[in-house]
Structures are given as structure tokens and as C-alpha cells.
Amino acid sequence: MATRETVKAGRDTEGRIHIARRYVRRREAIGLLLWVAAIAVVYGTLVLPFYLHLLLVFLWLLGSGVTFVGLTRQNLKDTESVFEESLCRISEAHEELVTQMAVYSEAKDALTGEHLVRVRAIARLLALELGHSDADADALGKAAVAHDLGKIAIPEAVLGKPGRLTPEEFGLIKQHTVIGARVLGTSPLFDLERQCARHHHEWWDGNGYPDGLAGDAIPLVARIASVADVYDALITRRPYKEPWPEEQAVQYIKERAGTQFDPDVVRAFAGLDRARKLPRRPVEAPVAVAVIAALPDDRAASLARPTSERVLNSQPLPPAKPGR
């Protein structure tokens, strides 16, 4: 991967150098042309009749204007190209940053790390089913990855508790919504992710947390992520529950339309179920490939080692993280 990134960075630098050189060559050519034309105008005043001299001046001014307009338009196109490239790089960096932070919040349990991948996929499908464009659906799916980002600050003993949480523990769990939004800061680049992290536990009827929002006051990305998150949590094994059958999980979502979930999102969810587009119950593996692939090489190697080797090296397995 390092090699591919190095090659890509080299190509990007080469492209920017090429554009800069093109600017210089273009300006040198235009400067030379105008210099030659100016000499011709001056020479024309000595040997040409007055009316021809005026015509030559007019043509020189016209040519200079046309050349200037053409140069300006070409420079604008080149500037737009560089801007679009920079914007694309910023978008990629933004997505990678959010994904890496979310992966680390989920990496406390490799068995549930693929939860992020499935929630993103379900959220994207729901957005498309609701009539959003591919670009908007992609953005909503990417933002849904950040829904549990704040759990990185919650004690693992609480996250992985197999029994019922005490009121104090549940109050601590609820703080992950506020923490996640705070971690994402105030940059407009993270607006969707921040909305999702803070509001994905709001209920349509206003009985959710942390702000008690209701109805359309809940951001769309949070309403979509809520359904995707709950469905995937139901069909997967967690420390406090066995996986539910897909049919039972779908029925659970449908029964809570208008109370916990946005009725429109639930209708879209039901449409995906009828079309058999919803992910099936995941196959449990010793290590989640999605998490391993997203972690740095040293961390990935640590998680990928056999359990016995990790015990011998005093590196205990990360505790399980529920979808609370």
C-alpha cells in the first residue's frame, strides 16, 4: 500500500508541475507575440501611411484583447481542474479520517468490526430507496459509519458487560452520542457525521436521547442510521444477546415505525426486505477482515496472530463491544 500511495503522490506532484510549466510557456509565448506586434506597430509609423498605421494599431489591440481573453479562460479552466483535484483529495482524506476513527472505536471487538461496513451499506440502500441520488446516498452511507464514534471514550467494562446495565452505566453509555459529536468538532466537512453521531438514538416520538428531538427535527442521516444500526445489532451476536433471525429483526423495526423510527425510513426498509436487498446474518469469523484491513500494519498484525500467541505475549484479546 505504501508503494501505491508513493506512486500516486508522485503522479500528483508531476501533474501540478506540468500545469505550472504550461502557465510559464503560455505566458512566454504571449509576451513574445505582443513584443513582436509592438515592434511592428512602431515600425509601421515610419514606413506606412497613416490609415494603415491606424489599422495596424487596431489589429494589435484586437489581437491583444482576444489573446488576453483566451489566456484568461484557459487559466480559469486549469485553476478549476486544480481546485477539483484538491477538493477530491480533501474529500478522500475526510472519508479516511472518519473511517479510521470509527474503526478504532469498533476495534475493541474484532467480531463486531464489520458492523461498520454493514451499517454503511444498509444506510446507503435506504437513502436510494427513499429517492436520493447516488452521490447523496454515498454521503449518507459514509456518515453513518461515525454513528458510534463516541464509544471510544466509554470504559470497555461497560461496553462489554454481558448482563443488564445499571442506570448509572446506561447513563454513561448515553454520553457516547455527545462525545462523538464533540470529537468531530465544528468543521462543516463533518456536518453529516456530527449529526449522525449525536442524534442516531433520537426517537421519532421524542423519547430518545440526548436532545429529545422528534419527527423531522431529527436529521435525516440520523433517522437512516438508526434503522441500519438497530437492524444489524439485532441480527448479530452481542455479549448481552444471541443473534435474532432476520425475519424477527425486520418485524421489530416495522412495529416501531412512528415511535422509535421514521415511518418513511421504515417503509423504505420494508421495501429493501421485500426485494431481499438487506444483508443476511453475518458469518462469524475469528477476526473481522474489515477491521484488520483498516488498521495500521502493526495493530493489524497483532490482531491477526493466533489467540495462543497473544496470551503468551501478554496481549489479551480485546473485550466485546455491544451495539447499545
Nearest-angstrom CA–CA distance, 89 and 195: 23
Q: Which residues have a Cβ under 8 Å from the Cβ of 228 and sit 6 or more positions away?
A: 118, 119, 122, 123, 126, 144
For 107-304, which CATH class?
mainly alpha
Cα dihedral value 237, 243, 249, 253, nearest 10: -30
Overall pTM surpassing 0.85 (yes/no): no
Residue 247 pLDDT > 50, yes or no?
A: yes
36, three cell numbers: 513582436
Terminal Cα-to-Cα distance of the chain (whole angstroms): 35
Q: 29 in helix, strand or coil? A: helix
Evaluate whether 269 touches 227 at the Cβ level (below 8 Å): yes
Average pLDDT of the chain? 76
Evaluate whether 93 touches 188 at the Cβ level (below 8 Å): no
- The band of 22, judged by pLDDT with boundaries at 50, 70 and 90, is low
Cα dihedral value 76, 78, 79, 82, nearest 10: 160
Residue 208: per-residue pLDDT: 96
**Residue of higher predicted confidence among 314 and 213:** 213
Nearest-angstrom CA–CA distance, 90 and 17: 20
Nearest-angstrom CA–CA distance, 64 and 195: 53
- The band of 164, judged by pLDDT with boundaries at 50, 70 and 90, is confident
Domain boundaries, the chain: 2-92, 107-304
Task: Please tell me the least confidently modeled range out of 14-28, 225-239, 295-309.
Answer: 295-309
- The band of 260, judged by pLDDT with boundaries at 50, 70 and 90, is very high
Residue 308 pLDDT > 70, yes or no?
A: no
Q: 261 in helix, strand or coil? A: strand
* Residue type at position 305: R
Residue 103 pLDDT > 50, yes or no?
A: yes
Q: What is the mean pLDDT of residues 91-120?
A: 70
Cα dihedral value 161, 164, 167, 169, nearest 10: 10
